[in-house]
Chain A
Amino acid sequence: MTQNLTDMKALQALRTKLQQERNPITPIVTVCGGTGCHGYGCQKVIDAFRQEIAAKKLEDKVTLRVSGCHGFCERGPLALISPKGIFYQRIDPADVPDILAKSVFGDEVIDKLVYTGPEGDKAVYEKDVPFYAKQNRLIFGANQRINADSIDDYIAEGGYAGLEKSFAMDPEAIITEVKEAGLRGRGGGGFLTARKWETVRKAQPGKRRYVICNADEGDPGAYMDRSLLEGNPHSVIEGMIIGAYAIGAKEGYIYVRNEYPLAVKNARIAIKQAQEMGLLGKNILGSGFDFDIIISRGGGAFVCGESTALMASLEGKIGEPRAKYIHTAEYGLWDKPSCLNNVETWANVPLILREGAASFAKIGTKGSKGTKIFSVVGKINNTGLVEVPMGLTLREIIFDIGGGIPNGKKFKAVQTGGPSGGCLPEKMLDLHVDFDELTKVGSMMGSGGLIVMDEDTCMVDVARYFTKFLTEESCGKCTPCREGVRHMLEILDRICAGDGKEGDVELLEEMSESILEGSLCALGGTAPNPVLSTIKYFRDEYDAHIKDKRCPGKVCKNLITFSVVDGSCTGCGACVKVCPVDAISVTDKPATVKGKPHAKLKLHTIDTDKCIKCGMCAEACKFDAIHVE
C-alpha cells in the first residue's frame, strides 16, 4: 500500500489503522528468511507453506511471514508460531502440512521439530530455549515481528515513532538525548555517537553535509549488520533520518558489501517504500526537512570499513585511507562534514528516541550502555547472533547461550574484534564484555564477532591466518603496514613450517610495536593485535613450534604426520578410496575387526613420503584409526 504521508498525524493515523488490521488472535507463522537459513534451503519451506495455505484455502486463517534472521542459525530452517510462541527448528518442507494442521490449528506439538539440547533437554516455546532465554533482543528482536520487505509491518511495530518525536524536538535536543543515552559506535571504535554528531553539526557552517551508514561489514565471522539490514532495513533508515535531521544533512549513503546481495535488495526495497510514503525526499512528514538516501556497493576491500577509505571509495576512488589529523566529521566525503556510523549504531537511534535516553541508559555497564549483538561462531554448539546487555561475561555468552563446545572438546580461546582484535584464553572467560574491559586485556569489541576455538585449533596458525588476511587487505599506502605486516607473515609462515628460530617471537613483538606506532590508519594500527595476544596468552604454543618442532593443535602440516593405528584399523579400505595421492596401502599384518585379528582383511599403512596431509583419510575413517601427531 502506498500512501504519501503529508504530516505527523497521517503517520499516526496509518499506524493506528495498521495495528487495528492486525488481529492478535490470527496465528502467524514466521519463517526465518535470513541468508543463513537460505543456505539451509528455507526457500523450499517457505514455498511449501505458500502452497499448503493456498491448497487448503487458509489465507484468512493464518498469516505467513518471511522475516529476517532470527539469530539461531545453527538450527535452521526455523519458524516461530505466534501467538503461541512455539519454536520449530530444522524444518523440512515435508513437515509443513503437519505444522499447520497440528500446531497452528490444533494443539499438538511436533516432537521432532522441538529444540533438543545437547543433554536431551527439550524446549517447546522460544522463550524457554536456552539460546534465547538470556538474551535481551531490543534491536534484533523486531526482525521476527516484521516481514523483511514490509514498511507496514515496521510502522505497526512502532516504527518511525522515533522520527515523529525527533521532528517535534530541536536538533540539538536530539543530540543531547543520544548523549544522555550514552550510545557508543557499534562498528569497532566505540566512539561516542553524540560527540561525533555534535562535531558534524558544528563543522563548516552553512555547507552541505552527509550521513553515511557503514555496512561494509568486513570482519570475518561477524554478520550482525548484514542481518539487521536484511531483516529490518527501516530501523537503519529511520536512524539515519533522525541523525541527518540532528546534524542538518540532506543526503545519505548506505555503503554495503556486495557480498551481501539480500541486504542490498532489502535495503533498496525499503528506501523505495520510504520515498513513496514521503518518509524520504522533500518535506518529510510536513516538517520542511528534506533528506534522501542512496546505496553504494563496496568492492570487497576490508580497509573500506575505515572511515577515510570508505569515503574515498564513495567518491569513486580506490579505498586508501588518509591521515586523520583532520577528522572526517569535519572534512569527510567530498571534503564536507560527514557523519559515519555503523548499521547497528543507526538501528539503536530510533529506539533511544522512542523510549527515551533514560530507559536506554539503564541497560549495560557504566561506560557501555545498551545491548550489543554478537555473532558467536566457530567451534560452538549454537552458532548464531546473540543480543545481550553490555556487561555479560564471556562464559555466559559462550556456554549458557552458545551451548559450549561441540564433540566434548575443550575450550581453548575466543577471538574478539575481528582481525584487529585478540584471542583470549580460558582464564578470561569471566570477563564482563564491554568496550573498555576488552581493550584492557589486549583485545577489542570490534563489531562483535566472537570466534570460539577448541583444543584442535593452533593459535600460531590463527595468528598467521589473521596476519595473512591483513597482508592481503593492506591497501599498501603506508610502509609500516604494507611491509611490516608482510614480514610478520613471513616469520609466522616460517614458524608454522617448522623453521622457526629462537628470537622469532621477540622479533615479532618488536615489529608489532613499530607497526602499531607507525601505521597510517587503524588497519595497520591494530594489525599486530592477533599476534601480540596469542604471544601473550599462548606463548607455549609458539615455543612448541619453534623449539620442539611440534604443533599442539595438530594443524601445521610440516609438524604433523598421519599414521594408521594398529588395533583400530579394520582394513575396510575407506581411506584408500579417498586418498588423492595413493599414499595408503595394505600391509601383511591382519586388521582388527571386533577386537580380533581378521583372517583376510589387512592392516593399512600410510607412506609418509607421499602423504600430503590433506586429512581425507581421517575424515573417511569410521574407526578412529588414523592418528595425527
Chain B
Amino acid sequence: MDLKTVDKICADHQNRPDQLIGILQDVQTHYRYLPEAPLKQVSTLLNIPLAQIFSVATFFSAFSLTPRGEKVVNVCMGTACHVRGAQRLLEELERGFGVGAGETTTDKKVTLETVNCVGCCALGPVIVVNEDYHGKMDGTKTAALIDELKGSKS
C-alpha cells in the first residue's frame, strides 16, 4: 500500500499528536476507511502507540475500520428529524438496501449510516448522500432515492 498520502497528511498537520483526530479524518477521506497500514504509519510519524490510535479510531463514531461504500447515505437522527419521522425513513432505507445502519452493501456501493444532527432542522427529515443534502424527505422521495442509488454507477 502506498503510504505517501499518509506522510503528506501528517506533514500538513506538522506531525502534531494533538491533531490525531484530524489526521485520521483525512486518512479516512482518502481511503474511505482506516486500513491497518496507514494507522501504523501514523503511529510511527506521530510517535503515538498504535494501541492509542486504535482506541481513538474505535471510540469515535466518525471512524470505520472496514471499507465503506462509494456512497455514504447518512440519515439525520436529530430530534427535529426524529419528530418528523426520520426513524421510518431509516427503516425504509434498511429495507431498500438490505443492510442495517452502519453496514455496507455487498457490492460496496452504499454504506448506510446515521448522524446525530446535521443542523438543517428546517429541512427535516434530512438524508445526506456524501455531501448532498436531501431535505423534507418522505417515503416516496426516499423510495426514489433508493432507486437512484441502486442504479448509480457512481
Q: Mark A residues whose CB is within 8 Å of B.
A: 35-36, 38-40, 73-74, 76, 217-223, 226-227, 258-261, 294-302, 313-319, 375, 377-379, 383-384, 415, 418, 449, 451, 453, 457, 462, 465-466, 469, 473, 475, 578, 580, 614-616, 619-620
Contact = CB atoms under 8 A, between A and B. Distances in A.
B117 interface: yes
A219 B80 CA distance: 11
A451 B83 contact: yes
Nearest to B52: A317
Given A39-B133, A377-B80, A451-B79, A220 B117 contact: yes
Interface in B39-59: 46, 48, 52, 55-56, 59
A297 B56 CA distance: 13
Of the four ranges (under 10, 10 to 19, 20 to 34, 35 or more), the interface on chain B belongs to 35 or more
Contacts of A473: 116
A615 B139 contact: yes
A316 B17 contact: yes
B36 interface: no
18 contacts: A35-B119, A36-B121, A220-B78, A222-B117, A226-B119, A259-B117, A259-B119, A260-B119, A297-B25, A299-B25, A299-B59, A377-B122, A383-B80, A384-B122, A462-B83, A469-B116, A614-B91, A615-B88
Interface string B7-34: 0000000000111111011000000000
A298 B59 CA distance: 12
Interface string B53-78: 00110011111000000000000011
Given A300-B62, A314-B18, A40 B24 contact: no
Interface string B104-139: 000000000001111111111010000101010011
Secondary structure of the B contact surface, majority rule: helix
Secondary structure of the A contact surface, majority rule: mixed
Given A220-B78, A296-B19, A451-B79, A378 B84 contact: yes
A383 to B, nearest CB: 4
Nearest to B91: A614
Contact of B115 (A259, A295, A296, A317): A259
B8 to A, nearest CB: 17
A221 B78 contact: yes
A51 B15 CA distance: 43
Contacts of B120: 35-36, 39, 73, 223
B143 A578 contact: yes
B20 to A, nearest CB: 4
Given A221-B80, A294-B19, 12 more contacts: A223-B117, A258-B25, A296-B22, A299-B63, A300-B60, A301-B60, A318-B59, A451-B79, A614-B92, A616-B140, A619-B139, A619-B140
Contact of B140 (A74, A313, A314, A620): A620
A223 B119 contact: yes
Contacts of A217: 119
B39 to A, nearest CB: 13
B153 to A, nearest CB: 24
A205 to B, nearest CB: 24
A148 to B, nearest CB: 16
Contacts of B131: 261
Contacts of A317: 52, 55-56
B150 interface: no
Contact of B121 (A375, A415, A578): A375
A122 to B, nearest CB: 21
B25 A219 contact: no
A71 to B, nearest CB: 10
B35 interface: no
Interface in B91-111: 91-92, 95
Nearest to A320: B59
Nearest to B74: A259
Given A299-B24, A316-B20, A620-B140, A451 B80 contact: yes
A222 B119 CA distance: 6
A442 to B, nearest CB: 18
Interface of B: 17-22, 24-25, 46, 48, 52, 55-56, 59-63, 77-80, 82-85, 88, 91-92, 95, 115-124, 126, 131, 133, 135, 138-140, 143
A313 B79 CA distance: 25
A299 B79 contact: no
Given A40-B123, A316-B21, A318-B56, A378 B88 contact: no
Given A220-B117, A300-B60, A319-B60, A36 B19 contact: no
A294 B22 CA distance: 12
Given A36-B122, A314-B18, A453 B60 contact: no
Contacts of B133: 35, 38-39
Nearest to A302: B116
B75 to A, nearest CB: 13
A300 B61 contact: yes
A221 B79 contact: yes
A296 B79 contact: no
A191 B127 CA distance: 36
B80 A301 contact: no
B123 A36 contact: yes
Nearest to B143: A578
Nearest to A617: B139
Contacts of A36: 119-123
Nearest to B63: A299
Nearest to B131: A261
Contacts of B56: 299, 316-318
Contact of A379 (B77, B83, B95): B83
A475 B135 CA distance: 31
B77 A220 contact: yes
A415 B21 contact: no
Contacts of A313: 21
B139 A578 contact: yes
Nearest to B57: A299
A418 B121 CA distance: 14
A316 B19 CA distance: 7
Nearest to B53: A316
Nearest to B118: A259
A217 to B, nearest CB: 7
A122 B83 CA distance: 29
Contacts of A222: 117, 119
A449 B88 CA distance: 23
Nearest to B29: A258
- Enumerate the 3 nearest inter-chain pairs by beta-carbon distance, A residue then B residue, closest first: A299-B60, A223-B119, A73-B122
Contacts of A315: 17-18
Nearest to A219: B117
A379 B17 CA distance: 44
Contacts of A223: 117, 119-121
